[in-house]
Structure 1
């Protein structure tokens, strides 16, 4: 399986967890999108540092575009493959959805005690 396919699966799975499993529906909140924009900024800075300097390299057959490291274009965004944005989104959403679901469960437990 390619990095692209895995990134798409990760995004779909995390949205399903948010909407169906935990029912936190974070992706419907402006607050969550504002927080995600802040996190995305730092993700892009970190990815730019790691991939732009050649510390992390990707196989051109597994990503959109080629293995050639460019600032923008050829499947890259700030030197990193666009798939990294998908994985970052999935990681952040999944973490926040589970966090919110567990926090809600804890609040309900305290209210009934």
Structure 2
């Protein structure tokens, strides 16, 4: 399975977790999107530095684009494959959903 396919599955599964499994609906709040905007900024800085310097490399057959490292274009954004954004979204959202769900389960009020 390619990195692209895994990313799509991860994003869809995490949204389903948020909406229908845990019923936290984190993605329907402005505070989530504000916090996520900050996270994406630093994710792009970190991913860009690691992939732009070729510390982390991706197989061109497993990602969108050719695998050539470019700042923008050919399936890349700030040197990193666009799949990294989706995968990072899934990781951050799943962690937040579990955090909110456990807080509600323990009787704490969510923000």
TM-score of the two chains, using structure 1 as the length reference: 0.94
Structure 1 residue 107, shift from structure 2 partner: 1.5
Structure 1 residue 67, shift from structure 2 partner: 1.3
C-alpha distance in 1 between matches for 2:31 and 2:98: 17
SS in 2 for 1:46: helix
Aligned to 1:91: 91
SS in 1 for 2:70: coil
Aligned to 2:101: 101
- Number of equivalenced pairs: 108
Backbone CA RMSD of aligned residues: 0.7
Alignment of 1:47-66 (within 5 A): 47-66=47-66
Aligned to 1:71: 71
C-alpha distance in 1 between matches for 2:76 and 2:15: 24
Structure 2 portions without partners, runs of 5+: none
Structure 1 residue 99, shift from structure 2 partner: 0.4
Q: Deviations over 1:46-70 (max 9, x none)?
A: 0011000000000000000011100
C-alpha distance in 1 between matches for 2:58 and 2:66: 9
SS in 2 for 1:87: helix
Superposed structure 1 runs of 4+ greater than 3 Å apart = none
C-alpha distance in 1 between matches for 2:9 and 2:81: 16
Could you say which structure has the larger radius of gyration? 1
